[in-house]
Structure 1
């Protein structure tokens, strides 16, 4: 597929019956009553009209070096622009805020979703398994480590932000993580996704088909499917397909693996710069694991490679596509320079 906007295809409103019984992990699962308690405490948007913690959007974000407010920077761009024409800062494993929910290996962010969005992040990397005691729901995981947040909590936070910032959009990679005792097969994952769309009423929050213009995407979550489906959605690739050209080297050998990763990052930035009319979305992950804690690799890559590259090109407009990163709070300068790329 080479067309930048695939034609709409009917998305099933009815879910297939579940055909398996996924084993339930005693260690990673939680009781239903605890799910509801944690969901409320983590800031699901509203319950019976009462705002819950984490959903107020009164505090504005910062401003970039070019003076753009980070909480509503997209609203200042022409609605005629395709999302393919933008530089879109993002986060990798967007909900992994607490090393207690895994280890420092699974800890990739300090900001929660509300602050990420307020600070200008517009791509979220959301990875799901099933939840013990909640047969229709999806929890957010890093591999088999449950992050104590459910998909509906993430969607409620996005909806609250977009209602307060209607000129913005959020791109969301929704991944079947397929890990641990709560791993789901393709059929069951699709059934639960349909439950969110129709049973829980989130269908209207999403844009489903093809890369839209910014005007079409405003106020919506643009769904990027990293799960098997027959629906004709934007189909994620960690390499290259008809939708994406992605750099996601997260592990390699050699004497200087971070040097190798840095070289891949620069090559992908250069490729995007040299192909401004490319029909695919470029993605350039700044994150790396490969034997390093994410905090260590993130800071080294930012200091050695990413910041010097961007700082030398502050007056050069570029369409870099989606740029996911770990710990943008440690490198706000990089986050803001990426936003500014859209206004040069």
Structure 2
């Protein structure tokens, strides 16, 4: 599993200090063809830290919805607003484009909605069907093996907590969505959680009980045309099939336990720069950039989302006009994806609209 954080951070440091080649640093300072990095919003480290009272009380940090640059741009783009809908936003993607060259919003711990009072368990408010309807195209599915013999199946868990849904139900919601929206595809990470069955047992259950023709199980990164109407399997169990989640075709940033939200934001933005700015021709790997994190016992997932997502909203919409013709953001899984109050609606649409230069 590759990481680009160190390399991207080095390049960003070169740019900011003027040691890189080109106009800022000159030929002696390094490579002369290094492009500028995407900018990030001006914020201090304190902006991404909870106050003592917030940390102590786990008070919700949710900001009031605001009409930022994203909504202003959307209001000025009547054609785009009419053509693109959240349930069929992939319709205008070229069939020949690699799915590694797309900006895709997704969810981390996609089914984690129930914590029985433990605020560190829920990561979403919407169920899978609503997530898909609102633009999500990457699902993070964690499966516990339950039952015995021929009755063995997958229950969806977040750690020890059963999420009141079975894998077959998740699969059916995805199949129903794809049947109604054949222009779309869904990336699905499948991982074993809270059970210790062998990889062989897990594979047999999946193949015998769940595998259907609408799964894409080849090991290569497909084009959009090959993926349409499919669940593109990202196997996080050895030998499960599909694209190997821990393999060389994925570049993953998933620092989920960082105690400093400002550092986590820097990691997210370094990965975004690696995908958009520094990616080499022919590099069609999937860049997966988790926006999610938590910091027990101080910041629960919803609080972390409240700290990280507003500046990310500003960063994406602040760079979209200049950089979306250069490269794509990759996959960005979020906690509390497009919650019922719509507070991060502009972030989701920003990731989606990055694909189109209208």
- Is the 1:276–1:319 contact (alpha carbons within 8 Å) kept by the matching residues of 2? no
How far apart, CA to CA, are the structure 1 residues paired with 2:237 and 2:217?
Answer: 14
How far apart, CA to CA, are the structure 1 residues paired with 2:320 and 2:223?
Answer: 25
Corresponding residue number in structure 1 for 2:161: 145
Q: Name the TM-score, length of structure 2 as normaliser.
A: 0.71
Task: Answer with 325-334 or 271-280: which moved more.
Answer: 271-280
1:164 deviates by: 0.3
The alignment's C-alpha RMSD in Å is 2.0
Corresponding residue number in structure 2 for 1:83: 99
Q: Name the TM-score, length of structure 1 as normaliser.
A: 0.74
1:320 deviates by: 1.2
**CA separation of 1:287 and 1:70: change in aligned 2, threshold 3 A:** same
Q: Provide, for residues 174-205 of structure 1, a one-character-per-residue CA deviation record: whole Å limited to 9, x for no partner.
A: 1112x2xx4322122111111224xxxx4202
Corresponding residue number in structure 1 for 2:229: 219
What are the within-5 Å matches in structure 2 for residues 55-204 of structure 1? 65=74, 66-67=80-81, 68-100=84-116, 103-132=118-147, 135-177=151-193, 179=194, 182-197=195-210, 202-204=211-213
What are the within-5 Å matches in structure 2 for residues 10-29 of structure 1? none
**CA separation of 1:325 and 1:276: change in aligned 2, threshold 3 A:** farther
3-state SS of the aligned residue for 2:141? Answer: strand
* Over 6 Å off, 4+ runs: none
1:298 aligns with 2:305: yes
3-state SS of the aligned residue for 1:127? Answer: strand
1:132 deviates by: 4.2
Q: Provide, for residues 264-319 of structure 1, a one-character-per-residue CA deviation record: whole Å limited to 9, x for no partner.
A: 0110111111116323110100000122211000010012x311211211313131
Corresponding residue number in structure 2 for 1:38: none
- Is the 1:84–1:211 contact (alpha carbons within 8 Å) kept by the matching residues of 2? yes
Corresponding residue number in structure 1 for 2:274: 271
- Is the 1:136–1:195 contact (alpha carbons within 8 Å) kept by the matching residues of 2? no
How far apart, CA to CA, are the structure 2 residues paired with 1:218 and 1:230?
Answer: 21
How far apart, CA to CA, are the structure 1 residues paired with 2:252 and 2:143?
Answer: 21
Q: Provide, for residues 145-184 of structure 1, a one-character-per-residue CA deviation record: whole Å limited to 9, x for no partner.
A: 111111100010000000000110001001112x2xx432
1:143 deviates by: 1.4
Q: Provide, for residues 51-94 of structure 1, a one-character-per-residue CA deviation record: whole Å limited to 9, x for no partner.
A: xxxxxxxxxxxxx9341211101112111111011011100000
Q: Provide, for residues 31-62 of structure 1, a one-character-per-residue CA deviation record: whole Å limited to 9, x for no partner.
A: xxxxxxxxxxxxxxxxxxxxxxxxxxxxxxxx
How far apart, CA to CA, are the structure 2 residues paired with 1:230 and 1:173?
Answer: 11
In structure 1, list runs of 5 or more residues that go unmatched: 3-63
- Is the 2:221–2:285 contact (alpha carbons within 8 Å) kept by the matching residues of 1? no
- The count of corresponding residues between Structure 1 and Structure 2 is 267
How far apart, CA to CA, are the structure 1 residues paired with 2:146 and 2:345?
Answer: 34
Corresponding residue number in structure 2 for 1:32: none
In structure 2, list runs of 5 or more residues that go unmatched: 3-72, 75-79
**CA separation of 1:230 and 1:140: change in aligned 2, threshold 3 A:** closer
Question: Which has the higher Rg, Structure 1 or Structure 2?
Answer: 2
How far apart, CA to CA, are the structure 1 residues paired with 2:141 and 2:209?
Answer: 14
3-state SS of the aligned residue for 1:110? Answer: coil
**CA separation of 1:112 and 1:276: change in aligned 2, threshold 3 A:** farther
3-state SS of the aligned residue for 1:343? Answer: coil
